[in-house]
Amino acid sequence: MKRLFAIACIAMVSEILSPARGAVSRQDLATVEVSLPANAAMPLELRLQGEDGATKPLRFWLGATPSIWVLADYTCETLCGPTLSIVSDALAQSGLRPGVDFRLVAVGLDPKDTAADAANMKQARVGAGNAIAAAAYFLRGDGTAIDALTTALGFRSAYDHDRDQYAHPAAAFVVAPDGRIARVLPALSVEPVNIRLALVDAGNGTVGTFTDHVRLLCYGYDPASGTYTVAIGRLLAASGGATIAALVLLITLLLRRERVQGS
């Protein structure tokens, strides 16, 4: 799935392209994208460090629910913070239950980021003492771990050595409990309805209401825009199926009525 998103940190990119201070070339920026590999999945044994300093395999951070993963530079001065705020707000408005229906997981792109950097970003963009914060984990890893994770996700960034900043895609990865990458959403424009349907989709029947699952029968995911839209074919199939079910029920009732009258 080539170039799902090439949404970089726009404010930072404009500075990078300044003729007087260009530290990253246009050729470097052209590689900034998410190109999700076929059958993409998280490296479950990869070890990442939590907010308390404990290092655990990635499968531990997945937990038993679908999760939203965002890669961010914890000391970013441009769009990483707003990206996390937008995703967090969309989750809060989704109507799903934090910690029960989903987790939010951020991973620091820069191996130099400290625990304090991660804590400051979480406090500023997710808050503290609320339900989303309780279900949010801001993780860190060394360079090898981060490279392994970005490779698995097809996540390509460009590092500006002069400013110690990254130009990178603004993407939210929807991950199933088994580590499968179910969806990639545009983090800067993600909406509550799309993040809800993506999590319901990734939950394989364990998340969401009956109405959510009916909607998924009639809605199709558009990877180009990262949204769920009405799919006419699915809608017609669902309508046809409902009509057939109603006819079968009617015929069953008529046959039962005839048997009762004939006895």
**pLDDT digits over 18-64, tens only?**
444 456 667 777 778 888 888 999 999 999 999 989 999 999 999 99
Mean of the per-residue pLDDT values of the chain: 82
**Beta-carbon count within 10 A of 52 CB:** 6
Region 184-194: what's the mean pLDDT? 90
* Residue 259 binned pLDDT confidence (cut-offs 50, 70, 90): low
- Residue 53 tokens, joined: 């300093």
Burial class (CB in 10 A: 0-12, 13-18, 19+), 126: buried
Give the model's pLDDT for residue 161. 82
Buried residues in 148-182 as b, exposed as e (16+ CB within 10 A): bbbebbbbbbbbbeeeebbbbbbbbbbbbbebebb
**Residue 235 pLDDT class (50, 70, 90 cuts):** very low
Average pLDDT of the residues in 93-118: 96
Per-residue pLDDT, averaged over 91-119, amounts to 96
Q: What percent of the chain is modeled with pLDDT above 90?
A: 51
Q: What is the pLDDT of residue 229?
A: 73
213 class by beta-carbon count within 10 Å (0-12 exposed, 13-18 middle, 19+ buried): middle
Question: Among 7, 4, 3, which Cα is nearest to 169's?
Answer: 7
Angle between helical axes of 210-218 and 192-202 (0-180°, round to 10): 100
Q: Take residue 216 and report the two structure tokens written for it.
A: 């998924």
For the chain, the domains span 10-205
Whole-prediction pTM: 0.78
Cross-strand pairs, 221: 228
Distance (Å, whole) CA 69 – CA 126:
14
- pLDDT for position 178: 96
**How far is Cα 199 from Cα 175, in angstroms, rounded to an integer?**
8
Rounded to an integer, the average pLDDT of 239-243 is 50
In CATH, 10-205 is 3.40.50.880: no
